[in-house]
Amino acid sequence: MRLTFLGATHTVTGSKFLLESGNKRILVDCGLFQGLKELRLRNWEEPPVDPGSIDAIILTHAHIDHTGYLPRFVRQGFRGPVYATPATVDLAGILLPDSGHLQEEEARFRNKHQRSKHKPALPLYTLEDASVALRALKAVPYRKPQNLSPHLTFELLPAGHILGSAFVMVREAGKSVLFTGDIGRYDQPIIFDPTPVDGADYLLLESTYGNRLHEGREEKSGKAMLRKIIVETAHRGGSVLIPSFAVGRAQEILYILRELELEQAIPALPVYVDSPMAIDAFEIYSKHKEEHDVEMTKLAWSGQNPLHTGNIQFVRKADDSKRINEHTFPSIIISANGMATGGRILHHLIQRLPDERNAVVFVGFQAAGTRGRQLIEGARSVRIFAVDYPVRAQVHSLTSFSAHGDYNEVLRWLGGFRKPPRKLFLVHGEPKAMDAMQQHIEETFPGWNVHAPEYLESVEL
Tell me which of 182, 193, 274, 291 binds Zn ion, using CB under 5 A. Answer: 182
Least separation, in Å, of the C-beta of 63 and Zn ion? 4
252 binds Zn ion (CB under 5 A): no
Tell me whether residue 66 or residue 110 sits nearer to Zn ion (CB atom): 66
Applying CB under 5 A, the site for Zn ion has a residue count of 2
Tell me whether residue 20 or residue 182 sits nearer to Zn ion (CB atom): 182
Least separation, in Å, of the C-beta of 404 and Zn ion? 7
Residues 311-330 that bind Zn ion (CB under 5 A): none
Least separation, in Å, of the C-beta of 61 and Zn ion? 6
Residues 32-91 that bind Zn ion (CB under 5 A): 63
Closest residue to Zn ion in the complex (CB): 63
Stretch in the footprint of Zn ion (CB under 5 A) among 46-54, 179-187, 240-248, 277-285: 179-187
Tell me whether residue 71 or residue 160 sits nearer to Zn ion (CB atom): 160
Tell me whether residue 1 or residue 8 sits nearer to Zn ion (CB atom): 8
Tell me whether residue 16 or residue 25 sits nearer to Zn ion (CB atom): 16
Tell me whether residue 123 or residue 160 sits nearer to Zn ion (CB atom): 160
206 binds Zn ion (CB under 5 A): no
Tell me whether residue 183 or residue 200 sits nearer to Zn ion (CB atom): 183
Residues 403-422 that bind Zn ion (CB under 5 A): none
Residues 346-385 that bind Zn ion (CB under 5 A): none
CB neighbours of 3 closer than 8 A, spacing ≥ 6?
Answer: 17, 18, 19, 20, 177, 202, 425, 458, 459, 461
For Zn ion, the binding residues (CB under 5 A) are: 63, 182
